[in-house]
Amino acid sequence: GVMEKLGLGPEVLLQDNSRLIYARLTGFGQAGKYARSAGHDINYLALSGVLSKLGRKGENPYAPLNLLADFAGGGVMCAVGIVIALYERTKSGKGQVIDASMVKGVAYLSSFLWKSQNSGFWSRPRGENLLDSGAPYYETYKTSDGKFMAVGAIEPQFYEQLIKGLGLDSDKLPSQFSYSDWPEMKKRFASVFAQKTQAEWCSIFDGTDACVSPILSFDEVASHQHNKERNSFIKNDQEDISPRPAPLLSRTPAVPSFERDPFIGEHTEEILLEYGFTKEEVAKLYSDQVIEFNKVKANL
């Protein structure tokens, strides 16, 4: 209802331009019991059902930063909705309103969890299934230098290479899919991984299909050979590192900016003046706390 209060709701603007695509991105959606309630990523995850699936055995559900609902279920799904509406407009010539709810977006993003419930993937409690840290071959392990390795050797042929790299004999181990033996196998794998450094494990597993990778920190990721060869990360003029835009388009690739990101409110006054607001109007908007200023001070 915020835009309606400003007289800029979709009904008003679509009357002026019937081709307009009007995207409304909210946490709980435009209607419903919680529509006007405050919330954050963890709340939207909770209401979507996804949060109940995240976490280890015997622990509380775990919210993985604020990536799933805010950015994936919210921002990305909203952007997809805009692209779909743009495509539809090429046929109908008409715009439409997009109700992008983070709850519904992240729920739809988790369709695989819903569609695979009867496949055996999620038949056990949280933290005891194949992909939620239950399996010893889909887990993270600490190395002797305090770093970590990620293991995702699901397929039998990949699992065999994992076992070989760990220096174990598969004939003397329980079956890969023996659920009852998973806890003990995790302990055994952990004790083996703890005997070598991350670099030593990389020298063993790099170039194999064991699905074993180093868990890189933000300080390490840009200098890793694979990422360097892919030019996956860039530095701006302040030497700050960030991911290069993705996905990569062959004919019209994104051209990243190498300038630092602007501060919130840094260009507010400049943009409003450019669009015809007077200085008095801008000052009134600021005093009413509608806009924010953040002038960058010179370092003298």
Report how far residue 209's alpha carbon sits from residue 211's, in angstroms, rounded to the nearest whole number: 5
* Catalytic-labelled residue, pool 16, 41, 70, 171: 70
267 is catalytic: no
Report how far residue 36's alpha carbon sits from residue 69's, in angstroms, rounded to the nearest whole number: 17
Residues 6+ apart with CB under 8 A from 229: none
226 is catalytic: no
- Cα-Cα end-to-end distance for the chain: 45
* Catalytic-labelled residue, pool 40, 209, 226, 240: 40
Lateral strand order in the sheet of 212-214? 138-142, 148-152, 212-214
- What are the tokens at 232? 């996956």
CA–CA distances in Å: residue 158 to residues 43, 80, 134, 154, 161: 37, 35, 18, 7, 5
What single letter denotes the amino acid at residue 26? T
Report how far residue 1's alpha carbon sits from residue 149's, in angstroms, rounded to the nearest whole number: 47
Catalytic residue numbers? 40, 70
